[in-house]
Chains A and B, each alone.
Chain A
Amino acid sequence: MRALERFPATRIVATPAALDAFAWPKGALVLRTAPDEALALTAEKISFAGDEHAIVERDDGFTGAWVPAKEALAFLERACEWEPPAVRPTFAQGAVAGLPAKLFFEAERVLFLVPAPYAADLQERLT
């Protein structure tokens, strides 16, 4: 069984322009999950600026694991009907193994992230 962990994060819903312009803290992995929404994977508190009406909420509701790239791509070949992107690094999201997954592709590894309620299923299906 692959060990999964919760990824501390902050979710920000704001205007696309504000999200585009914001200087994210160093070390935060920022996944742009929608034009008006970002998921910043960091334990650091984010003081978002640029949209006075932005919703900025701490969110510890994502669970996942970094998987070596070769293993990840082999898994995706079995479990993902859409074509994983070729460029690195890049973010993609969609159904993987029947789960709502967010993926971050680096050259040597891939982050698999799902909402924590699906953690048990991800763990079972990644194995």
Chain B
Amino acid sequence: MSKPASRIIFEGRPVDFAPGETVLAALLKAGRAPTPGGCVCMGGDCPHCVATVDGVAYVRTCQTLAKPGMVVEPHPLKDHPPLLAPGATSQHTAARNIHCDVVVIGQGSSGRKAADEARAAGKRVVTLEAADGQEAVGVYPGPLVVARASDGMWHLHPKESIVVATGAAEIQPVAPGNGLRGIYTPRAAERLAAGGIEFGKLVAVGAPPKNVACEKVDGELVRFEGRERIEAVVVKTAKGEERFACDTVCVNLGLQPRNMLWRMGRELPIDVRVVGDAARESDLPPCPTAGTLCTCAGVEVSDLESVFARGFRELELVKRATLAGTGTCQGGVCVPHIRSFLKAMGERLQDPFTARPVARQLTIGEISAGAWHTATPRTALDGEHRRLGAQMERLGGWWRPWTYGNTLEEYWAVREGVSLCDVSTLGKMLVRGPDAEDLLERLYPTKISTLKTGRCRYVLLLDDRGYVMDDGMVTRDGPNRFALTFTSGGSTHAELWVRDWAEAWKLDVRLLNQTQSLGAINVTGPHATKLLQRAGLAEPPAYLAQTIADVAHVRCRVFRLSFTGEVSYELHHSAADSVKLWRTLMDLGEDLGIKPHGLEALLKLRLEKGHIVVGQDTDFDSTPRRINHEWAVKLDKAAFVGRDAILRTNKVAPDRQLVGLEAEGPPPREGAVVWNGKDYAGYVTSCTFSPVLGKTVMLAWVRMVDGALPETVTVNGREAKRVKTPFYDPEGLRARA
């Protein structure tokens, strides 16, 4: 019994292949071809052999070794192949990070020499050779060389140099009929002949291939003739135009350097050089007069003539106007001919256009190899929220519970009973040192020197233009020690802001970010104090004060503040104890009707109190005056960040204001336009239907007219009345109770 041949499947039918044979060679030997035609190079430089292989489109079959069972399909004649072939599955591709001193791309004689020299100098060298399955596809800042290899993508991180030794490519013919089958470059003919491909009668135009029987013709290529396959080639010889009947034609137009990877990386701040044939000058083919210039983008020489006539005379502009060079081969076929054309038209000889990664089509899996999804941090209570059925959302850069299923129940638990909210996401920072007070005095627009030990104060954080960046609380622990809080979404930036200024002012302070180390639970509602007393907090702090105490046997920093408008305590503690503290409080508050509340309820509660959310209710140019927070700015104190800007902007008449609006009926969408008569007046930043007030309340930016705010405006076709905030409990009696 003879050994069964290895086969690939092409257009549903088996095609035999020999060991070590490429897909293209196997197809050509079987009298098949993956594309309708075009000059074949066998060097990976042209688009004339690309096909879909095992579901992946744009695979160069001349560079792909045939494997048993491989499924090969030609691309559709019109339009593009699907990114993912029907039935194929998207594959994640692994990435390897390889660190070295030198990367040598290409292992011909020049590449080997460069690698040997680098090794001899004691360098760590990585070599890439496409024929061995390591195909460099891009050079990036970093510096980073990305290569496709048999075991995934290689991300090479060279410290010293990148050597491009990728040789030279043969220039393809551009002439009428160049889309026929049976046209080869000399090297392709040599390789295919060595592989046992029969050419029939082969005519070679220009220098012939080595070791291949052919009829050599000297002269200038005029056109190819045939229907699907080549039948003859017409050459302008000394005798005039001559027609040579043939089965195959081989055209030698010289070489162009394969230096795209060097051009991608030559401006990087390490040594990026090109050697060997890749460093040679490009030969210049005759000026094309007709034929397909760019198979990838379907550009004819007539298109080139057309855009030139319309004034596109730079290579870069010709590329943009025609799309020549933007496809599979990235200009491998068309660039020498465009250069020749432009020169023949009287322009200077222009350099090839800018090379940008990637040099080869990659799958999404290959492109994304080594990339990771942005990780969203979870509080220590994340599991508790999910166990309670919370709908989790990414908010302020964290996974947070939006609702536990019934926002209204959560809301009323705060207004009438007691509720817990996970506020671990708040930014938290300790400041200590001889200059701690000085630092905060310079940073914040409020007075820090008057803040007594154990007391807290609301603060705005302004940038040097006087715009509101963030807000939070400052608490004094002692003469030289403070605890700061920031908003969840703004804490990273705020921390950097504090650190930058401390360094710039050369202040003697120690700073410790505790955001991710500490948990924080807000206990809020009329029964909050009772609950905490049950949990062992004998002496709850007064309003805007703090105490350090054990709550449910967990050491806590207990702040008395209020964002919801009810009595509230914020318990900051080691995140390792969050679950224990949360569960104990939930158990102790069961008979008080305790429920946790999510962000949806919290945003409703805070809006009733007119509390702003920085980033939602503020803009990039919101000053304290525009958001009615002038009370938080003490202009009589010495310099602080933003003071000069505020003094300057205060001289200008105000033009718009963040105001409170009330309306009957359901709330509009946030962002709804506010109208003053027929004039645009602003937009709604926050809105909700207030259960306790029985109406819709909003914060909105409203333009002033002649220095005054309108008393009534229109939102969504309904009248809204401007009112003072807070909407609920304006005297703040409940929070201070």
Contacts and interface: CB of A to CB of B under 8 A. Distances in A.
Contacts of B95: 78
A105 to B, nearest CB: 15
A99 B375 contact: yes
A117 B377 contact: yes
B512 A55 contact: yes
Contacts of B511: 13, 55
B378 A13 contact: no
Interface residues of A, number: 34
A116 B97 contact: no
SS of A interface (majority): mixed
A78 B157 CA distance: 13
B538 to A, nearest CB: 23
Contacts of A81: 97, 155, 157, 370
A72 to B, nearest CB: 14
Contacts of B434: 53
A14 interface: yes
Nearest to A8: B576
Given A61-B518, A125-B372, A6 B576 contact: yes
Nearest to A99: B375
A118 B510 contact: no
A61 B370 contact: no
B517 interface: yes
A80 interface: yes
B575 A120 contact: no
Given A61-B516, A61-B518, A78-B96, A14 B574 contact: no
Given A13-B510, A77-B97, A78-B370, A53 B433 contact: yes
Interface in A66-91: 76-81, 83
A118 B480 CA distance: 33
A109 interface: no
A57 interface: yes
A60 B574 contact: yes
B553 to A, nearest CB: 15
Given A98-B375, A117-B379, A118-B375, A57 B512 contact: yes
A46 interface: no
B508 interface: yes
B273 interface: no
B235 interface: no
Interface string B375-414: 1011110100000000000000010000000000000000
Interface in A23-56: 36-37, 51, 53-55
B432 interface: yes
B616 interface: no
B94 A78 contact: yes
Contacts of A119: 378
B512 A98 contact: no
Given A53-B434, A53-B510, A55-B512, A117 B96 contact: no
Given A78-B97, A120-B378, A97 B576 contact: no
A53 B508 contact: yes
Contacts of B370: 78-79, 81
A37 B508 CA distance: 14
A121 interface: yes
Nearest to B99: A83
Contact of A55 (B98, B378, B379, B432): B432
B197 interface: no
Nearest to B144: A81
Contacts of A37: 512
Interface centre among B370, B380, B510, B514 (most CB of A within 10 A): B510
Contacts of B378: 117, 119-120
Interface centre among B94, B98, B99 (most CB of A within 10 A): B99
A106 interface: no
Interface in B404-462: 430, 432-434
Contacts of A13: 432, 510-512
Contacts of A53: 432-434, 480, 508, 510
Given A13-B510, A60-B575, A78-B97, A116 B432 contact: no
A121 B398 CA distance: 13
Contacts of B512: 11, 13, 37, 55, 57
A44 B101 CA distance: 44
Contacts of B373: 98
Contacts of B211: none
Contacts of A11: 512, 517
Contacts of B432: 13, 53-55
B150 interface: no
A22 to B, nearest CB: 14
A60 B380 CA distance: 11
Nearest to B376: A121
Interface string A94-127: 0001110000000000000001111111000100
Contact of A58 (B97, B374, B380, B574): B574
B510 A59 contact: no
A80 B98 CA distance: 10
Given A78-B97, A81-B97, A61 B576 contact: yes
Contacts of B433: 53
A62 B155 CA distance: 30
Given A13-B510, A53-B433, A81-B155, A115 B517 contact: yes
Nearest to A59: B517
Given A60-B575, A78-B97, A117-B398, A98 B380 contact: no
A36 to B, nearest CB: 7
B516 A115 contact: yes
21 contacts: A13-B510, A14-B510, A36-B510, A51-B510, A55-B430, A57-B430, A59-B514, A60-B517, A77-B97, A78-B96, A78-B97, A78-B370, A79-B97, A81-B97, A81-B370, A83-B157, A98-B372, A99-B372, A116-B516, A117-B380, A120-B382
Given A57-B514, A61-B574, A78-B370, 7 more contacts: A53-B432, A98-B371, A99-B375, A115-B517, A116-B516, A117-B379, A117-B380
- Pairs of residues from A and B, 9 with the lowest C-beta to C-beta distance, nearest first: A98-B372, A61-B517, A117-B377, A60-B576, A83-B99, A115-B516, A121-B375, A13-B510, A53-B433
